[in-house]
Amino acid sequence: MYLKKLSVLNFKNYPEAQLDFNSRVNCLTGNNGEGKTNILDAIHYLSFCKSFFNPIDTQNILHDAPFFLIQGIFDVNDKEEEIYCGLKRNQKKQFKRNKKEYQRLADHIGLFPLVMISPADSELITEGSESRRKFIDSVIAQFDRAYLENLISYNKVLSQRNALLKQIADSGKFDKDSLDIWDDQLVDYGKKVYDTRKSFINKFIPIFQKYYELISGGREIVGIEYNSHLNESGFKEVLEKALKRDRMMEYTTVGIHKDDLEFTINSYPLKKYASQGQQKSFLIALKLAQFDFIKNIKEVTPILLLDDIYDKLDDLRVKQLMELVSSDNFGQIFITDTHPTRLAEIFEKVNTAFNFFSIKENSIQISS
């Protein structure tokens, strides 16, 4: 599978752009702020129905324009698949596959798998647990439709339980029967999500550690630990123990919506003890392991987007990374960089087919 063509209209800083891509490597070069990353984000839309960077769709419309359009043509086993995403201000987003509109965007997730590596991934280390849960969910949702359905249902029930807790606090009347109804559903969906997450993490960790060793040259030992309230007790018991606190806080304080991942390097917290280069290597290894996992499960090679990979990596780690992603294990790759000669030299040495796109002032020039 690979993306053959991309066209955008009024998307971010592009009034209009059309690109034909190489099935292997596509390098987008230009100064900072020219729009290299915006092309990657348009590709991300085609896979996930949303931006990697900005969850508010209307903010991705070109300033003062009434709408944006993103269209892509994928080649899947020599068959063309046309994907369309359009948004008009103050209207619902339209998403179509081969001119047929989706009723639910969730039905599209996983059909065209993709992995994005970006400096924004640093949030996985620096921000709270929500970022790390989203990472787990984004990986599993690309190959397990039942997981995505259970997660959506869990969040709906969680919202209803929280509303009931607020109502109980406001009225002063404890409605145990209604709470039990929501608890039973929360336990049912939550246990399924937890079991899938735990199984995934156990399989994911060795793959991640393998990629970190390849990128770093085996300089450090890294680890991931899955933390959940359900690790020690059943979900029903956890909810019962937390009921007094839930009533006081007026929301659900325990459950799989509080799950987290603990990252370590040489048995110490990554956030405190790792250099910027080590943290970057850790994040890249996470994403490459995501790539590998999805590829093996779905038997489809995901598209790989590498945004500003030179950021905080020394030359050795960059060279090892580029040689790694140029191997036959990887398929179509998109890379952004401010220096065109760096990428050209690497891919010429590894004898890999590539296209170069030079971006300046919303204009894109191609050379192969």
Q: What is the pLDDT of residue 56?
A: 94
Whether 171 and 283 map to the same domain: the answer is: yes
- The pTM for the full model equals 0.87
Q: Is residue 123 part of a domain?
A: no
Query: Encoding tokens for residue 226?
Result: 């899955």
290 and 327 together in one domain = no
pLDDT tops 60 at residue 78: yes
Lowest mean pLDDT among 77-86, 141-150, 252-261, 345-354: 345-354
Predicted local distance difference test score (pLDDT) of residue 362? 74
Q: Is residue 364 part of a domain?
A: yes
Does residue 176 carry a pLDDT above 60?
yes
pLDDT > 90? residue 243: yes
Measuring CA to CA, how many Å separate 28 from each of 41, 143, 316, 337, 354? Answer: 13, 29, 22, 7, 11
Q: What per-residue string of b and e applies to 332-345 under the rule 16 or more CB within 10 Å gives b?
A: bbbbbbeebeebbe
Q: Does one domain contain both 102 and 31? A: yes
- Please give the residue range of the domain that contains residue 235: 128-298
Write out the two tokens for 203. 């399989």
The CATH number linked to 60 is: 3.40.50.300
| CA atoms of 72 and 49, how far apart (whole Å) | 12
> Would 118 be classed as within a structural domain?
no
Average pLDDT of span 49-54 = 93
DSSP code of residue 62: P
Examine the pLDDT at 153 and tell me if it is beyond 60.
Answer: yes
Together in a domain, 306 and 284: no
| DSSP state string for 230-250 | GGTS-HHHHHHHHHHHHHHHT
Question: Do 2 and 81 touch, CB atoms closer than 8 A?
Answer: no
Which spans in the chain are helix H?
36-48, 123-126, 129-141, 145-171, 176-216, 235-249, 270-273, 276-298, 315-325, 340-349
Query: Measured between alpha carbons, how far is 142 from 120 in angstroms, rounded to an integer?
Result: 20
**Residue pair 330/300 in contact by the 8 Å Cβ criterion:** no
> Is residue 119 in some structural domain?
no
How many residues belong to the chain?
368
pLDDT at 333: 93
Q: Are 304 and 184 within one domain?
A: no
**What local confidence, expressed as pLDDT, does residue 48 receive?**
94
Separation of alpha carbons 116 and 284, rounded Å: 10
Query: How many domains, the chain?
Result: 2
Q: How far is CA 115 from the centre of its chain?
A: 7
Q: How far is CA 136 from CA 129, 151, 196, 367, in A?
A: 11, 12, 10, 37
Specify whether 95 is located in the same domain as 38.
yes
**The pLDDT of residue 155 is above 90:** yes
Residues 165, 283, single domain; the answer is yes
**Pair (94, 47) in one structural domain:** yes
Q: Above 80 in pLDDT, residue 326?
A: no
**127-136 contacts: CB < 8 A, separation 24 or more?**
129/258, 129/259, 129/260, 129/261, 132/260, 132/261, 133/257, 133/259, 133/260, 135/261, 135/286, 136/197, 136/200, 136/201, 136/259, 136/261
Of 271, 298, 325, at which residue does a domain stop? 298
Among 298, 314, 337, the domain-final residue is 298
| pLDDT for position 312 | 62
Question: Same domain, yes or no, for 46 and 135?
Answer: no
Domain closes at, from 244, 270, 298: 298
Residue 207 lies in a domain: yes
pLDDT at 123: 93
292 & 156 share domain = yes
pLDDT at 125 over 90: yes
Query: Tokens at residue 79, please?
Result: 């068959």
Residues 197 and 339 in one domain: no
| Average pLDDT of the chain, as a whole number | 91
Are 294 and 317 in a shared domain? no
Q: What is the pLDDT of residue 330?
A: 86
Q: Is residue 255 part of a domain?
A: yes
Q: What is the pLDDT of residue 367?
A: 67
